[in-house]
Amino acid sequence: MQFEEATNQFQTLLSSIRQSDIEKFLVWSKQTINGVLDDLSEGDNADVVINSIREGIRQSLPLEGMTETEHIVKPTHGPNADCNPATTVHVDAFLYDEDTIDEMVEEGTMSRNYCVNCLSKQVKPLTFITHSASLPQIKFMFQYLLEDLRNKTVLDVGSRTGAVLYGAYLYSEASSVIGVELDPTFCQLQNNIIQQYDMADRIKIVHSDIMQQAELLQTSDVVILNNVFEFFMDANQQLKLWKSMSDNIRKKDTIIITIPGIEESLSRIQAPIDLGSWIRPIDISQLKEQAVLKYFKDIEDSDLDDIHMYQVL
Ligand SMILES: C[S@@+](CC[C@H](N)C(=O)[O-])C[C@H]1O[C@@H](n2cnc3c(N)ncnc32)[C@H](O)[C@@H]1O
């Protein structure tokens, strides 16, 4: 049976259920569908590999997923400027998904709250900051947003643990996947994973400041920018970096995927870049609606809204 016929039959079935049994039937359907989706994803070899990579990286990094060689710059502009270091925790969304965090909270190895007055029950939620894309965000990029990537080059600017690169390798046929990363420890970590999982045929790591890699920006077909500068560069450097992005990512039809939207990143630092003559936003709202149902049991947990997509004019 094809999709359209299946949905028609499902509608017919729904309308034939006794009114008093509808809720019971829908709750049963929800459980059954979640179980089938879990089984589908467990049988997927790409998911098995990426989960094994996540587990390996969790073992080799401290809980907050940061290295001793990197330098975090607390934002001075925009909504993250009020992040109080005492009540902000860095939790890498690629390494620790909501279920893993729940398990850790239950074991007592992580907390979601801090105590306002010690021993009192007055608690406030900690602010969670991630410096990596989550697995659903990565799968959304390569399973929904980007079509055939054969003979195409994907560039992840600031590739960190390599999360996006492994996703591009496993969930797409991109012929070349390049990560540029400033931090030497993360470059070493990514190279270890690439070697361990035999991915060097399509993934390459460049240890560099992206400012020195204009040619990669000029020639790539897809450029991914996941909040790459905000926590790592001061506002002046960010201005120069965004200027370099808009000067160099100019090949017609290049796809740019960003978290958050470029408009938001630029407004935080008041960058005078004319977006109208550079890029066109692509409406991905319908794809988000479909993907949320696939990747999240509770749609409230979705982090796909942060993703934006553009095409170079
Ligand atoms: C928010 S993380 C993004 C991680 C990854 N792209 C992902 O989505 O999972 C940003 C990374 O960019 C790196 N970075 C910041 N500025 C950079 C620059 N000018 N050149 C290269 N890498 C940079 C940081 O070291 C950090 O690891």
Q: Which CATH number characterizes residue 246's domain?
A: 3.40.50.150
What pLDDT sits at residue 148?
A: 95
What average pLDDT does the structure give for the chain? 91
> Do 255 and 165 lie in a common domain?
yes
Query: Reading across the β-sheet that carries 255-259, which strands appear in turn?
Result: 203-207, 176-181, 153-157, 222-226, 255-259, 308-312, 279-281
5, pLDDT greater than 70: yes
What pLDDT sits at residue 167?
A: 98
* Tokens read off for 186: 């993360």
> Do 85 and 182 lie in a common domain?
no
Mean pLDDT of 253-263: 97
- Is residue 215 one of the residues assigned to a domain? yes
Per-residue pLDDT reduced to its tens digit, 269-293: 999 999 999 999 999 999 999 999 8
Q: How far apart are CA 75 and CA 234, in angstroms?
A: 7
- Is residue 51 one of the residues assigned to a domain? no
| Confidence tier at 43 by pLDDT (50, 70, 90) | low
What pLDDT sits at residue 121?
A: 63
Ligand 1 close to Cβ of residue 131 (< 6 A): yes
Strands 176-181 and 203-207: parallel
Q: Structure pTM?
A: 0.88
Ligand 1 close to Cβ of residue 226 (< 6 A): yes
> Do 280 and 244 lie in a common domain?
yes
Per-residue pLDDT reduced to its tens digit, 210-230: 999 999 999 999 999 999 999
> Do 170 and 251 lie in a common domain?
yes
E-state strands within the chain: 88-90, 113-115, 123-125, 127-129, 153-157, 176-181, 203-207, 222-226, 255-259, 279-281, 308-312
**Residue of 160, 165, 166, 220 with the most ligand 1 atoms within 8 Å of its CB, for mutation:** 160
Q: Which of 259, 218, 267, 214 is nearest to 238 (CA)?
A: 267
What pLDDT sits at residue 117?
A: 64
Q: Which domain holds residue 214?
A: 135-312
> Do 83 and 139 lie in a common domain?
no
Mean pLDDT of 58-85: 86
Going by alpha carbons, the residue nearest to atom 5 of ligand 1 is 159
45, pLDDT greater than 80: yes
Q: Which of 213, 206, 151 is nearest to 183 (CA)?
A: 206
